[in-house]
C-alpha cells in the first residue's frame, strides 16, 4: 500500500508543479483571463485519454504506471481530466442518464458550492 501511495504522491506532485508553472506563465500573457486553467484542463484531458488508452490494455504490469501517470500526474495536473474521462466511460458503457446527471450536476453544483463557500466566508 505504501508503494501505491508513493507512486500517486510522486505523480501528483509533478502534475501540480507543472500545472502551477503553466498557469503562472499563461495567466500573464492572457490579461487576466484564466488561460492557464483552460490550457491545463484541455491538455490534462488529452493526456488522461492517451495514458488510459495505452496503459489500460489489461496488462497488469501497467498498474504502477497507471497510478503514477493517470491517478497521480493527471490528478495533480487537473481533476478535470478525471472528470472528463469518467464521463467518457459512462457514455462508452451506454449509461447515458448517469452521464447526463453526473456531468450537469458536477458543473452546476460545483459552481453553486464555490459561490456558497465564498458567500459564507465573507
Assign 121 a pLDDT band (cuts: 50, 70, 90): confident
Give the model confidence (pLDDT) of 22-76 as tens digits. 988 887 787 767 788 888 989 988 999 899 888 887 776 688 999 999 999 999 9
pTM: 0.77
CA gap 14, 68 in Å, rounded: 10
CA distances from 120 to 82, 105, 110, 111, 116 (A): 28, 21, 15, 14, 6
The structural domains of the chain, with segments of one domain joined by +, span: 2-121
More confident residue, 103 or 30: 103
- Rg of the chain over Cα atoms, rounded to whole angstroms, equals 16
Amino acid at each position: 500500500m505504501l508503494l501505491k501511495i508513493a507512486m500517486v504522491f510522486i505523480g501528483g506532485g509533478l502534475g501540480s508543479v507543472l500545472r502551477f508553472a503553466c498557469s503562472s506563465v499563461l495567466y500573464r500573457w492572457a490579461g487576466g483571463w484564466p488561460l492557464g486553467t483552460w490550457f491545463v484542463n484541455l491538455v490534462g484531458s488529452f493526456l488522461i485519454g492517451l495514458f488510459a488508452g495505452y496503459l489500460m490494455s489489461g496488462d497488469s504490469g501497467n498498474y504502477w504506471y497507471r497510478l503514477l501517470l493517470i491517478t497521480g500526474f493527471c490528478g495533480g495536473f487537473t481533476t478535470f481530466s478525471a472528470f472528463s474521462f469518467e464521463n467518457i466511460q459512462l457514455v462508452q458503457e451506454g449509461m447515458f442518464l448517469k452521464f447526463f446527471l453526473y456531468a450537469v450536476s458536477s458543473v452546476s453544483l460545483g459552481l453553486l458550492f464555490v459561490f456558497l463557500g465564498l458567500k459564507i466566508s465573507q
